[in-house]
Amino acid sequence: MKYIPTIGVECHVQLRTKTKLFSEVDNDARGKEPNSCVSPVDYALPGMLPRLNGEAIKLAILAGRAMNCEINALSRFDRKHYFYPDSPKGYQITQFYHPIIGAGYVELPSGTKVRIEHAHLEGDAGKLTHFDTYSLVDLNRVDTPLIEIVSMPDIHSAKDVHDYCKELWRLMCYAGVTYGDLYNGNMRFDVNISLAPEGSKELGTRAEIKNLNSFRSAERAAEFEIKRQTKILESGEKVKQETRGWSDATGKTSPQRSKEEAKDYRYMPEPDIPPINLSKDFIDKESAKLPLMPKDYRKKFNKTISADILEVLLDYPELMKKLGEVEEKHTKNISNLFSSVLLAEEKSAEYLNDLPSAKDLNELAEMNEKKELSSTSTKEVFLRLFDPQMKTHGAKQIAKELGLIQENDLGALEKIVDIVLAKPETQKAQADFKAGEEKVIGFLVGQVMKESHGKANPSAVQEILRKKLA
Amino acid sequence: MNIKREDIIHLAALSNFRLDEKEIDSLGRDLQDIIKYISQLDKLDTDNIEPTYQVIEMENVWRDDEILPQEADREALLALTKEAKDNQIKVPKVL
C-alpha cells in the first residue's frame, strides 16, 4: 500500500525590533553576556507591568502582508501557563484566541501553494543550559518578539518542507521583519507529519518534530520521519502521537522525554495588555511599506535574468534590492557579476553588507558594454568596488588608475600594429600566417597587446591584423 | 463541579507544588468552596454579552521602540535569585 504524507509547519520568527516585546531592553543579545539584557519585567518581579512595543505590531503587519494574509483589526494577548525555569512569569504572553494575522498563503517557486492558518505575536522564552546536576538560566531571550506562523497541512513531500521553510525565510527577510540569521536561531521550525493510505479521507496519527533550525534539517527530518512511519504502518503497527527531537549528527528523530500528562496551559486573557484595535487606515499605511517581494522580482527580471541564476540571487535580499536600482539595460550584466564573481568570493558574506552604489555598477556595465573594459578587467574593477579605500574613487577612475581601459581608437591601434609588424622578431610569424598557419595570429595579437601595455582591445587588434596580412 | 483528589494532584503538578496528603484534602475543600461561591455567577443570563477581557477600557497602549536604561542591573537581579553561577541563575536540573 502506498502512504501519502501530510505535513504542516509551525515557524517561529524573531523580530528585529530594537527592544523586547514587553520591556525597553536591548533585544539584540548576540555576543552579549548572559542576563545582561534583562529588566524587572523579564524577571517577572512583583508589580511589574509589561508594555507593548508598537514596532512589533507594525512588523507583524508587514509579515502578514508578505504571506498574503488578512490583518485582523482586533487582536488580544493571552497567558499560556506552564512551569519551567525558562519563564520566570510562569506563563508566556501569546495570542491564543485573537491573533493579529489571519489566513493567507505562501506560494513556493514550484507554484505549490501552502495556506497559512494564522500567525500570532508572542514573547520568546529564556535559554537553559543543562549540566550534570543543575541547569543554568539566561534570560536575555525572554520576551524577544516572535511571530509564530502556523501553516495548514498542505505539504506532501520532504522537498516541499524545505522549499516552504526557505520561502518563508525569504519572505520574512525581504519584508525586513527579521535578521533571518538561522545560525543564531532567528527562525525555528516545528514539523508535524502524519501518513495515511493513498485515497484515505482521514489523516493518520501525527508526530511533531520540534526545533529545527535550518531548511536542510527540516527536510532531512521530514524524510526520516516519512520512512520511519511508513515502516511502522507497513508492519501493521500504529504510529504513536508524540513530540520528537532531531539530531543532525545521527540523521534521526527520537522521542523527546516529556511529562506523561496531557498539556494543560490554562489559557486566560492577559489583563496587563489592553487589546490592539487597528484602524483600516493604519493597516493600509503600514502595509504600503512592504518592499518588493521575491515574486515581484521574479516578475520584474523574468526577461533579463535566467530563472536559475535568479533563484540563486533571491537568497540575498540586499543583492536583489541593488539590482532593482541598477538601470534595466545593465541588469543582466550586473546579475552575472553578482552570481559568477561575488558569490564565488571567499568573503562574499562580508561584501554583501556593503554593496557598491548603483551609479558605480551602471558605469562599470557601461564601460564593459562599450568594450572599454575586457571581461577580465570588468571583474577586476568590480571587486575593487568592494575595497573600502578604492570604492570612493568610483568605477571609471578605478579602471583608469589600474590602466585597464582598452584602446578602441582604430587609428591609434593601427599605429601600434604597424610598429609591431615592422619589428624583425615578428617577420617569421607574419610569413607563417600568410602561408596558412592560422594559430600564429595569437602570437601577433599578443605582441600588439604587449606593445599597448595591455590596453588594446584584442578583438579589434585581430581584425586589423587580418586586414593587414590578407 | 466537583473537585476530585486527582484534580488537586494535577494542579499541583502543573505548578510544581509538593503537597502532603492532608493538604490535598484541605486544599480540595477550599477550592470546592471557592468554585461554589463563584458558580453563583452561572445563574446570570450572559447570552449575547461580550466577555470582559479587562476592566479598564483602554486600547492600543503601545510604547516606542527605544532602549531605556534600567534601574536594576544584572547584579541586582541575580542577587534576588537563590543561587547564581557564571552570571546565570542556577536551578536544579530540569527536563
Domains of chain B: 1-45 (1.10.20.60)
Q: The domain spanning residue A439 has which CATH number?
A: 1.10.10.410
My answer on whether A259 and A124 are in the same domain is yes
How many CA atoms lie within 13 Å of B61's alpha carbon, on the beta-carbon side? 15
Contacts of A269 in chain B (CB under 8 A): 51, 53-54
pTM for the whole thing?
A: 0.84
The answer on pLDDT for A260 being more than 60 is no
Residue A410, pLDDT above cutoff 80:
no
SS3 B74: helix
Helix, strand, coil tally for chain A in percent (to 5): 40, 20, 40
Mean pLDDT of chain A: 91
Q: How far is B22 from chain A (nearest CA, A)?
A: 23
Q: Are A341 and A267 part of one and the same domain?
A: no
Q: Provide the pLDDT for residue A259.
A: 52
Q: What is the pLDDT of residue A413?
A: 82
Q: What is the pLDDT of residue B71?
A: 83
Task: Write down which residue in A252, A281, A310 finishes a domain.
Answer: A281
Specify the pLDDT at position A205.
92
pLDDT of residue A159: 97
Q: Which of A227, A254, A281 is the last residue in one of the domains?
A: A281
Residues of B in contact with A85 (CB under 8 A): 89, 91, 94
Task: Give the count of alpha carbons within 13 A of A114, CB side only.
Answer: 29
> For position A387, what pLDDT does the model report?
86
Angle at A324 between CA A322 and CA A329, to 5 degrees: 110
The rounded Cα B67 to chain-centroid distance in angstroms is 29
Does the pLDDT of residue B20 top 80, yes or no? yes
Do A90 and A220 belong to one domain? yes
Residues of chain A above pLDDT 90, percent: 65
So what's the pLDDT on residue A467?
87
B interface test, pick of A49, A75, A77, A135 with most B CB neighbours within 10 Å: A135
A149 vs B2, more confident: A149
B6 part of contact set with chain A, CB < 8 Å? no
DSSP state letter for A261? S
- Nearest Cβ partner of A136 from B56, B66, B90? B90
How does pLDDT run across A427-447, given as a tens digit for each residue? 888 888 888 888 888 899 888
Whether A246 and A306 share a structural domain:
no
The verdict on a CB contact (< 8 Å) between A85 and B65 is no
Split at pLDDT 50, 70, 90, the class of B87 is very high
Pair (A265, A334) in one structural domain: no
> Are A339 and A397 contained in the same domain?
yes
The verdict on a CB contact (< 8 Å) between B89 and A85 is yes
Q: Average of pLDDT values for B37-49?
A: 92
How far apart are the C-alpha atoms of A448 and A456, rounded to whole Å? 8
Q: Is residue A71 part of a domain?
A: yes
Are the CB atoms for A319 and A297 separated by under 8 Å?
no
Is residue B19 less than 8 Å (CB to CB) from chain A?
no
Q: Is the pLDDT of residue A81 over 90?
A: yes
Of A140-144, A370-374, A409-413, B2-6, where does the model show the most confidence? Answer: A140-144
Cell of B26: 484541605
Report the distance separating Cα A465 and Cα A217, nearest Å.
Answer: 59
Domain boundary, last residue among A374, A401, A428: A401
d(CA A374, CA A332) in angstroms, rounded, equals 16
3-state secondary structure of A432: helix
Q: Are A215 and A323 part of one and the same domain?
A: no
Q: Does the residue A437 lie in any domain?
A: yes
Residue A356 inside a domain? The answer is: yes
Residue A287 lies in a domain: no
pLDDT in tens, A340-364: 887 887 777 778 888 999 999 999 9
Chain B contacts of A273, Cβ < 8 Å? 61
Q: Do A238 and A196 sit in the same domain of this protein?
A: yes
Instruction: Flag whether pLDDT at A70 surpasses 70.
Output: yes
Q: Give the strand pairing for A207-212 and A187-197.
A: antiparallel
Confidence band of A101 (pLDDT split at 50, 70, 90): very high
Grid cell, residue A207, equals: 508526530
pLDDT over 90 at A18, yes or no: yes
Mean pLDDT value of segment A382-411: 84
Whether residue A334 sits in one domain with residue A218: no
Under 8 Å CB pairs connecting chains A and B tally to 131
Range of the domain at A195: 3-281
CA distance A175 to A306: 24
| Residue A450 falls inside a structural domain | yes
Q: Number of structural domains, chain A? A: 3
Contacts of A77 (CB under 8 A, 6+ apart): A93, A94, A95, A121, A269, A270, A273
pLDDT at A261: 52
Q: Contact B10/A51, CB-based, under 8 Å?
A: no
Q: Judge whether A286 lies within some domain.
A: no
Whether residue A123 sits in one domain with residue A10:
yes
Q: Do B90 and A273 touch (CB under 8 A)?
A: no
Q: Helix (H, G, I), strand (E, B), or coil: what is residue A113?
A: strand
**Which of A273, A246, A48 shows the shortest CA–CA distance to A145?**
A273
pLDDT band of residue B95 (cuts 50, 70, 90) is low
Which chain B residue shows the shortest CA-CA distance from A84? B94
**Main-chain dihedrals φ then ψ at residue A77, nearest 5 degrees:** -110, 150
Note whether A439 and A375 are same-domain residues.
Answer: no
> Would A176 be classed as within a structural domain?
yes
Give residue A462's identity as a one-letter amino acid code: Q
Residues A63 and A16 placed together within one structural domain of the fold:
yes
pLDDT reading at A264 higher than 90: no
B65-80 average pLDDT score: 91
